[in-house]
């Protein structure tokens, strides 16, 4: 699972690589045409339009290729990494802490603690779900990286070291994505 910082850096590098590729291809065409292309600098001609069109096509193609290769969100790629997805800890909802099963009131999700350590999750089914069966991610993991986990599980725990910060339910994840 990648962090927000890693996705932002990948977006920056993919954007810059696309820009360099498009500029180099446009320069190559400019040199092939004998330097006659003028697009807004000193004049305007058909060669300049051809160079500009090649730049746009190469930039768009390399951006699409970069997005497929790095699997980063479109907004992160198009802003050159300025806007990244949220961290999982910002989308996580806090969970109630229960020291024993008898203290659980049956409303919502709760973490079952024994001897000061979390051991299970209450509220998803009729029984206690051990924490080993619930997927968990680090707090700085990008929210967009959680998609594969939600195909099999309705909830993902957000942890920082040994501490459980909260949980991201499937509904909150899809609401974040706008679906």
Final residue in a domain of this structure, among 78, 96, 113:
78
Distance of CA 141 to the CA centre of its chain: 8
Of 23, 56, 78, the residue at which a domain comes to its end is: 78
Q: Are residues 71 and 93 in the same domain?
A: no
CA distance 37 to 30: 6
The predicted structure's pLDDT at residue 21 = 96
| Domain-embedded: residue 21 | yes
Enumerate the β-bridge partners of residue 39: 44
The CA-CA-CA angle for residues 9, 13, 18, to 5°, reads 150
User: Domain of 40?
Assistant: 4-78
Is this structure's pTM higher than 0.85? no
158 within 8 A of 118, measured Cβ to Cβ? no
What's the structural domain count of the chain?
Answer: 2
Q: Quick one: pLDDT at residue 126?
A: 66
Per-residue pLDDT of the chain (179 residues; tens, 9 = 90+): 889 999 999 999 999 999 999 999 999 998 998 887 776 666 778 888 888 899 999 999 999 999 999 889 888 899 998 988 888 889 888 888 887 766 666 667 888 888 778 888 887 776 777 888 888 899 999 988 888 888 888 889 998 888 888 889 888 888 887 86
């Amino acid at each position: 699972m990648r962090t927000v910082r890693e996705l932002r850096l990948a977006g920056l590098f993919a954007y810059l690589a696309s820009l360099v590729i498009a500029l180099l291809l446009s320069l190559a065409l400019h040199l092939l045409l004998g330097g006659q292309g003028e697009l807004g600098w000193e004049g305007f001609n058909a060669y300049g339009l051809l160079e500009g069109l090649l730049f746009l096509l190469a930039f768009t193609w390399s951006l699409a290729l970069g997005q497929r290769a790095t699997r980063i969100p479109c907004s992160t790629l198009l802003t050159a990494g300025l806007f990244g997805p949220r961290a999982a800890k910002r989308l996580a909802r806090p969970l109630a802490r229960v020291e024993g099963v008898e203290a659980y009131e049956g409303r919502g999700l709760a973490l079952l603690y024994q001897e000061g350590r979390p051991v299970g999750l209450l509220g998803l089914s009729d029984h206690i779900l051990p924490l080993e069966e619930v997927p968990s991610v680090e707090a700085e993991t990008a929210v967009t990286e959680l998609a594969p986990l939600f195909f099999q599980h309705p909830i993902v725990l957000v942890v920082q070291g040994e501490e459980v910060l909260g949980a991201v339910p499937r509904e909150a994840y899809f609401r974040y994505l706008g679906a």
